Amino acid sequence: MNTDTWEQFGQKISRLLKSLEVNAAGSGPLAQNEGFALWQAWCDEIRNAERCLFFCGNGASASMASHFAADVAKNGHIRAHVLTDPSLITAIGNDLSFDRVFAEPLEWWMQPSDMLIAISSSGNSPNVVKAVETALALKGRVVTLSAMKPNNAIRKLGSLNFFVPAPSYGEAETAHAAILHHWMNLMEASGRA
């Protein structure tokens, strides 16, 4: 059981965010601000071309996927679709398999130049890994947010990958929420421009 004080927890989260690692497929490590700038530029292209952002994740990451899909549509003026609808997940999980719950709808709806934002604390959820692989096969861009172990499955799969070395789900989820809020601030600003 973690017995950190509030101040200790805040310091821990601050250290995790400062140690955020970003890499892009084909170009290796990027400075944090370079990674966010690239993500913003790709999303600006998606907005201008009237393409779509897709979001997926499990548990708390599913909640973040839903939250930020709504925010980027409302405040960033980009079409967004969250793949965490309970009816969709349970139908695909029951009729096909749980590891296809995000990949299957991507096969129906994703077009080249769309983007998947995949959120996974462990980076090893089979349904998220399958979604990332499917989105790439469909010629979409993929942004991953992962944590915990540096050799997790999605950390190097995406077009752009954000990794925090958070050892627990609570710390990973807190860091991922901060990353997504910072990205959303950028998208909201560029959506008004």
Q: Is the dihedral of CA 63, 161, 32, 54 positive or negative?
A: negative
The per-residue pLDDT for range 2-51, each reduced to its tens digit, is 789 999 999 999 999 999 999 999 889 999 999 999 999 999 999 999 99
Architecture of domain 48-192: 3-Layer(aba) Sandwich (3.40)
* β-strands 28-30, 141-147 pairing: unpaired
Identify the H or E element spanning 169: helix 169-192
pTM higher than the cut 0.85: yes
The percent of residues in the chain predicted with pLDDT above 70, rounded, is 99
Query: Given its phi and psi angles, is residue 119 left (phi above 0), alpha (psi -120 to 50 degrees) or beta?
Result: beta
**Dist CA 105 CA 92 (whole Å):** 9
Q: In the predicted model, is pLDDT for residue 64 greater than 70? A: yes
Please spell the DSSP secondary structure of 124-155, one letter per residue.
--HHHHHHHHHHHHTT-EEEEEEES-TT-TTT
C-alpha triplet 128, 46, 160: angle, nearest 5°: 45
Helix then strand count (H, E) for the chain reads 7, 7
The per-residue pLDDT for range 141-173, each reduced to its tens digit, is 999 999 999 999 999 999 999 999 999 999 999
The per-residue pLDDT for range 78-95, each reduced to its tens digit, is 999 999 999 999 999 999
Q: What is the mean pLDDT of residues 60-73?
A: 97
